[in-house]
Amino acid sequence: MRQNYKSLHEFIARLEEEGELIRVKEEVSPILEITEIADRVSKSPDGGKALLFENVKDHSMPTLINAFGSEKRMAMALGVNNIEQIASEIKKLIETKPPQKFSEKFGLIPTLFDLIKIPPKKFKGTTAPCQEKVLTGDNIDLNKLPVIKCWPMDGGKFITLAVVFTQSPETGKRNTGMYRMHVYDKNTTGMHWHIHKDGAGHFQEYKKLKKRMEVAVAIGTDPVVTYSATAPMPPGVDELLLAGFIRKKGVELVKCKTINLEVPAYAEIVLEGYVDPEESRIEGPFGDHTGYYSLAAPYPVFHVTAVTHRHNPVYSTTIVGKPPMEDCYMGKATERIFLPMLKTINPDISDISLPWEGVFHNCAIVAINRRYPYQSRHTMNTLWGTGQMSFSKMILAVDEGMNIHNYSEVTKHILNHIDFSKDLFFSEGILDVLDHSASKALFGSKLGIDATGTEILKCDIPNMPSDKKILKFAKELSSDVRDISVPVKNVKSPMLFISLKKRIPNAGERIAQSIFNDSRSAKFKIVVIFDEDVDVKNISYAVWKFFNNVDPKRDFHFIKEKLGIDATRKWKEEGYHREWPDEIKMTDDVKKRINDIWGKLGISDS
């Protein structure tokens, strides 16, 4: 039986019932302190617990965060015991064949009844919960919401878990998306529509018509609606249909009070308003899911014409940054749920994995049923032309049957099979707007790695000196070397991570060449160079840096059949003329304040 929640309140009750919720009664500020607490919890084993802050400084409204931040809670949010259950239902629907016999038609009746239930439906009560209180005119004040400032260099406070509703003026089709909102004052925010998203497409349609665009924002919807707003649905397909499919029940909608849009009737809070296509304002910076700040830039302005909410609303929010965080579990759910759809585009795909370190658009690992030479290249090119997979910067292909979710196993396989002369190929294409590695915004190089096939490199596994000796050799070659790490042992193509104080342009390529030329370290086949502040012994952190900072065509240097990779911050002298973003870090004073009250939060013994 599918567990459905009409509202966020019902989901909170279930979380508490399952021991997945901590009520924090100590007073905590929405300015940075909630972030620091939630960040620590989300990085604890299995994602920690959901947190309900009941005493938010200067606010009466409780704040929920990390509600989706574990594999268990993500499944609970979607009403199943295992996310694969939803993927299986989608697979079954996709594979449904037209009935030929009466018995087959009869067998389709349950499926048809399920599909009839999924479209959104009109709320039939007297007063929708989301409209129990209606505020307009001078009574509108966004500052009464416990909106958080996530990170120290953020441009202000941001609404981060907003379900945004827009409608095409040309087709009338609805889009349900999730976009952050920079709160400027009591009744205006930024509207951060990424250029590739459907919301931005609707905005462009209104801009051509020179008409105001009505926008509705729901905060604290039932968890399936919240998740569906993040899902990579095909253009023009209503995300609320996905929500209805997952819930086995259509989402109840109610018409807004001041605009002609509909919103989920059981939402906690709704913001109604409009965007003027001729108006923009600087939005950001914002500490984003890449672990870096997305830069300030002009974006449309959202004017609030009404705020409606329940009598006892809960404010729902999230933070993003260096993985793992709450959004990682939401992204993993998408990986599993949308795999059957991906297989319909390319049936050779048997599985896909999007590592957290690749922040979902920097790296994809795909297992394929290989039937002919260079099939992996066909698969990669297909993925680079498919929806949001087109943003993938690096794609690795392996044979069907390998456990691509065991990254240690995959890495060892690559380092025992990779032939630089034929297994790497470069392409170019669009990149996610948050990718900072490329010399041009939104466009850069891509890398395909073909690790299919069973042919093992024709060489022995070399005997390697100790890490201590390798560090000594490296420092003798350059006094700028700070530390080293050998992330994978006992492979045919050994790899070396080096952190380096970068003093001159192209220092990464130079030190890699020195390593390869020196007889003491010549056994290394791959050298990856990082900046001195990178802890290369923290492999997950270093790999995250690699995926973020590398533009493959520019930063891969082939030296005597070996490979040097420059994962350092790029300079103007190296042909990089954009502004390189800062890495997200919390301030020491906030960390100390949270250390001082940590024992009072009720988290330590959870």
The catalytic residues are 288
Phi, psi (deg, nearest 5) at residue 288: -105, 180
Q: DSSP of 408-428, one letter per residue? A: HHHHHHHHHH--TTTSEEEEE
CB contact at 8 A, 201 and 235: yes
- Which neighbouring-strand residues pair with 497? 485, 528
Q: DSSP of 116-148, one letter per residue? A: HH-S-EE--SSS-GGGSEEEEGGG--GGGS-PB
H or E segment at 218? Answer: strand 213-219
| Torsion angle of C-alpha atoms 481, 482, 487, 489, degrees rounded to 10 | 70
Edge-to-edge strands, sheet with 262-264: 121-122, 252-255, 262-264
Alpha-carbon span 295 to 439, nearest angstrom: 15
Quote the crossing angle between the two packed helices 84-94 and 239-247, to the nearest 10°: 110
| C-alpha to C-alpha distances, 456 to 366, 416, 418, 451, nearest whole angstrom | 20, 6, 8, 10
| Secondary structure string (H, E, C) spanning 281-317 | EEECCEECCCCEEECCEEEEEEEEEEEEECCCCCEEC
Tokens of 286: 């914002």
Could you tell me the sign of the dihedral formed by the alpha carbons of 597, 39, 176, 5, in that order? negative
Chain centroid to Cα 335, Å, comes to 11
Alpha-carbon span 529 to 15, nearest angstrom: 44
CB neighbour list of residue 95: distance below 8 Å, 6 or more residues apart = none
CB contact at 8 A, 216 and 165: yes
Q: Determine whether 37 is exposed, middle or buried from the number of CB atoms within 10 Å of its CB (0-12, 13-18, 19+).
A: buried
Tokens of 219: 């905060």
Phi, psi (deg, nearest 5) at residue 163: -95, 110
Q: What is the DSSP letter of 470?
A: H
Tokens of 440: 């041009």
Tokens of 482: 């700070």
Q: Determine whether 334 is exposed, middle or buried from the number of CB atoms within 10 Å of its CB (0-12, 13-18, 19+).
A: middle
Cβ atoms within 10 A of the Cβ of 534, count?
Answer: 25
Tokens of 426: 């470069």
Alpha-carbon span 169 to 148, nearest angstrom: 33
CB contact at 8 A, 51 and 146: no
